Amino acid sequence: MPERAFRIRKVTLEDIKNVYKLLVANRPYVGLNSRYTYFLLARDFSDTCVVALDGDDIIGFSSGYIPPNRQDTFFSWEIVVHKDYRGNGLQKKLLLHQINRAGVKYFEGTINPSNEVSKRNFCEIAQTLNAPCKTRVLFSEQDFENDGHEAEILYRIGPIKRSC
Ligand SMILES: CC(C)(COP(=O)(O)OP(=O)(O)OC[C@H]1O[C@@H](n2cnc3c(N)ncnc32)[C@H](O)[C@@H]1OP(=O)(O)O)[C@@H](O)C(=O)NCCC(=O)NCCS
């Protein structure tokens, strides 16, 4: 079967209403922040945040930023794919799009230990980029005061050679 084609573009303020609905529908596997946070992402970080579209419908959202103290790094914050569209490799496509667009040397993102799909996809991203991947605990369960929030394991991929 031919691979389905989806459009990826920068997020806009007008997208946030539907981005928020997507995030709400995919809890608890994705942390939900305030609408205000997403408005700010669309206003000030739209160069590094994207949506995936099927026609005009938003079916994926991926946020991230270049940390001011590590400007050679793209940090992936949240990523979600609509339940009906999973299995099309969109997590990898969105993240590779963001990494390439940012033109960075390193990719960083955190994964909860139970999220096997994301672990596999991050490892495959490292393979695609032909770059090493290092992991360490960034925030432990204790850091979240054992409130049920899993640890956040940092995956740092790089150095990335720009020909990828
Ligand atoms: C993690 C996530 C973005 C990956 O989505 P994706 O890019 O569509 O996933 P993939 O295309 O890599 O598919 C992964 C596998 O899971 C399967 N899968 C994923 N969701 C599925 C679903 N709802 N129903 C059936 N199978 C599903 C796929 O078929 C595939 O299996 P395969 O490798 O054996 O073919 C998505 O599962 C999601 O939005 N999860 C909730 C939020 C989250 O965990 N974010 C990541 C934080 S790091």
Each residue of 17-37: pLDDT tens digit? 999 999 999 887 778 999 999
- Whether the pTM exceeds 0.75: the reply is yes
Asked if residue 54 has pLDDT above 90, the reply is: yes
Residue 2 pLDDT greater than 70, yes or no: no
CA distances to 17, 55, 60, 78, 115 from 118, rounded to whole Å, are: 25, 26, 15, 11, 6
- Could you tell which of 3, 62, 91 is best to mutate to test the pocket of ligand 1, judged by most ligand atoms within 8 Å of the CB? 91
φ, ψ dihedrals at 97, nearest 5° = -60, -45
**Atom 18 of ligand 1, nearest CA residue:** 87
Contact predicate 7/52, CB 8 Å: yes
Ligand 1 environment, Cβ below 6 A: 26, 29-30, 79-81, 83, 86-91, 111, 115, 117-118, 121
Using DSSP, state whether 157 is helix, strand or coil: strand
pLDDT at 97 > cutoff 70: yes
CA of 70 to the centre of ligand 1 (A): 29
Interval 9-18 mean pLDDT: 98
Band of pLDDT at residue 117, cut at 50, 70 and 90? very high
Mean pLDDT over residues 113-133, rounded? 97
Q: Report CA(115)–ligand 1 centroid distance (Å).
A: 10
Tell me, in angstroms, the distance from the centre of ligand 1 to residue 157's CA: 20
> Residue 94: what are its φ and ψ, rounded to 5°?
-65, -45
What SS3 class is residue 150? coil
Contact 112, 78 (CB under 8 A): no
Ligand 1 centroid – CA 87 distance (Å) = 5
Crossing angle for the helix pair 90-102 and 116-128, nearest 10 degrees? 50
pLDDT of residue 164: 46
Mean pLDDT of 65-78: 97
Domain-wise residue ranges, the chain: 7-157
Rg (C-alpha) for the chain, rounded Å, is 15
**CA pair distance 38, 5, nearest whole angstrom:** 26
Q: Which pLDDT score is estimated for 5?
A: 82
Q: Give the pLDDT confidence score for residue 163 in this predicted structure.
A: 55
Cis peptide upstream of residue 159 (ω within 30 degrees of 0): yes
Cβ atoms within 10 Å of 92's Cβ, excluding its own: 15
Instruction: Kindly give the distance from the C-alpha atom of residue 86 to the centroid of ligand 1, in angstroms, as a whole number.
Output: 5
Q: How confident is the model at residue 113 (pLDDT cuts 50, 70, 90)?
A: very high
For CA atoms 1, 80, 50, 73, the dihedral sign is: negative
Q: 7-157 has which CATH code?
A: 3.40.630.30
Q: Report the percent of the chain where pLDDT is more than 70.
A: 96
Q: Copy the structure tokens of residue 105.
A: 């040397």
120 Cα nearest atom in ligand 1: 12
* 6 CA → ligand 1 middle, Å: 16
Query: Contact 31/38 with Cβ under 8 angstroms?
Result: no
